[in-house]
A and B are shown apart, each in its own frame.
Chain A
Amino acid sequence: MTMDSMRDRFARTITELLDEDPRLALVLAEISRDRLTEAERRHPDRVINVGIREQLLVGAGAGLALTGLRPVVHTFASFLVERPFEQVKLDFGHQGVGGVLVSAGGSYDWPAGGFTHMAPGDVALLDTLDGWTVHVPGHADEAGALLRHAVAAGDDKVYVRLSEQANRDGLDVDGARMLTLREGRDGVVVAVGPMLDSVLAAVEGLDVTVLYATTVRPFDGEALRRAAGDRPDVVIVEPYLAGTSTAAANEALQSVPHRVLGLGVGRRELRRYGDMAEHLSAQGLDPASLRARITGFLPTPATA
Chain B
Amino acid sequence: MTTTATTTTTPRGPAYGYADLGRLMSLMSGDEKHGPAATSTLDALWVLYDRVLRVSPGAVDAPDRDRFLLSKGHGPMAYYAVLAAKGFLPVDVLPGFGSYESPLGHHPDRVLVPGVEIGSGSLGHGLPLAVGTALGLRAQGLTDPAVWVLVGDAELDEGSNHEAIAYAGPAGLDRLHVLVIDNSSASHARPGGLAARFAAAGWSTVTVDGRDHEALHAAYTAAHPGRPHAVIARVEPKNPAEAR
- Cβ contact of B163, chosen from A48, A55, A90, A91, cutoff 8 A: A55
Q: In the bound complex, what is the Cα–Cα distance between A62 and B125 (angstroms)?
A: 10
* Size bracket of the A interface: 20 to 34
Tell yes or no: A223 within 8 A of B by CB.
no
Q: In the bound complex, what is the Cα–Cα distance between A95 and B124 (angstroms)?
A: 14
Query: Would you give the shortest CB distance from A82 to chain B, in whole angstroms?
Result: 15
- Determine whether the beta carbon of B135 is less than 8 Å from that of A64: yes
- Determine whether the beta carbon of A51 is less than 8 Å from that of B128: no
Q: In the bound complex, what is the Cα–Cα distance between A50 and B171 (angstroms)?
A: 9
- Determine whether the beta carbon of B136 is less than 8 Å from that of A63: yes
Q: Which of B110, B118, B135, B140 counts the most chain A CB atoms within 10 A?
A: B135
> Digit string of A30-68 for contact with B (CB within 8 Å is 1, else 0)?
000000000000000110101101011011111111111
A-B contact count (CB 8 A): 102
* A66 / chain B contacts, CB cutoff of 8 Å: 117-118, 129, 132-133, 136
Q: In the bound complex, what is the Cα–Cα distance between A87 and B164 (angstroms)?
A: 13
Given contacts A50-B163, A87-B125, contact A96 B110 (CB under 8 A): yes
Tell yes or no: B192 within 8 A of A by CB.
no
- Cβ contact of A95, chosen from B110, B142, B163, cutoff 8 A: B110
Q: In the bound complex, what is the Cα–Cα distance between A96 and B129 (angstroms)?
A: 13
- Determine whether the beta carbon of A46 is less than 8 Å from that of B139: yes
Q: In the bound complex, what is the Cα–Cα distance between A50 and B173 (angstroms)?
A: 13
- Determine whether the beta carbon of A56 is less than 8 Å from that of B163: yes
- Determine whether the beta carbon of B135 is less than 8 Å from that of A48: yes
* A91 / chain B contacts, CB cutoff of 8 Å: 125, 128-129
* B136 / chain A contacts, CB cutoff of 8 Å: 25, 63-69
**Would you call the interface of chain B mostly helix, strand, loop, or mixed?**
helix
- Give the total of B residues in contact with A, Cβ under 8 Å: 31
Q: In the bound complex, what is the Cα–Cα distance between A86 and B159 (angstroms)?
A: 13
Tell yes or no: B37 within 8 A of A by CB.
no
- Determine whether the beta carbon of B118 is less than 8 Å from that of A95: yes
- Determine whether the beta carbon of B63 is less than 8 Å from that of A60: no
Q: In the bound complex, what is the Cα–Cα distance between A69 and B128 (angstroms)?
A: 16
* A62 / chain B contacts, CB cutoff of 8 Å: 129, 132
Given contacts A68-B136, A69-B136, contact A63 B163 (CB under 8 A): no
Q: In the bound complex, what is the Cα–Cα distance between A166 and B138 (angstroms)?
A: 39
- CB nearest to A93 among chain B residues: B119
* B133 / chain A contacts, CB cutoff of 8 Å: 63-64, 66-67
Tell yes or no: B221 within 8 A of A by CB.
no
- CB nearest to A50 among chain B residues: B167
Given contacts A51-B167, A56-B163, contact A63 B128 (CB under 8 A): yes
Q: In the bound complex, what is the Cα–Cα distance between A66 and B61 (angstroms)?
A: 11
* B160 / chain A contacts, CB cutoff of 8 Å: 55-56, 59, 87
Given contacts A48-B135, A64-B139, contact A59 B118 (CB under 8 A): no
* B125 / chain A contacts, CB cutoff of 8 Å: 59, 87, 90-91
Given contacts A51-B167, A59-B160, contact A87 B128 (CB under 8 A): yes
Tell yes or no: B137 within 8 A of A by CB.
yes
* A64 / chain B contacts, CB cutoff of 8 Å: 132-133, 135-136, 139
Tell yes or no: B111 within 8 A of A by CB.
yes
* B131 / chain A contacts, CB cutoff of 8 Å: 56, 59-60, 63
- CB nearest to A60 among chain B residues: B132
- Determine whether the beta carbon of B139 is less than 8 Å from that of A25: yes
Tell yes or no: B122 within 8 A of A by CB.
yes
Q: Which of A71, A86, A94, A96 counts the most chain B CB atoms within 10 A?
A: A94
Query: Would you give the shortest CB distance from A225 to chain B, in whole angstroms?
Result: 35
Tell yes or no: B78 within 8 A of A by CB.
no
7 more A-B contacts (CB under 8 A) besides A63-B130, A91-B125? Answer: A27-B132, A50-B167, A53-B166, A59-B125, A60-B135, A65-B132, A95-B110
B interface residue numbers (CB < 8 A to A): 63, 109-111, 117-119, 122, 124-125, 127-140, 142, 159-160, 163-164, 166-167
Q: Can you sample 8 A-B contacts with CB below 8 Å?
A: A63-B130, A67-B133, A67-B137, A68-B136, A68-B140, A69-B139, A95-B110, A96-B110
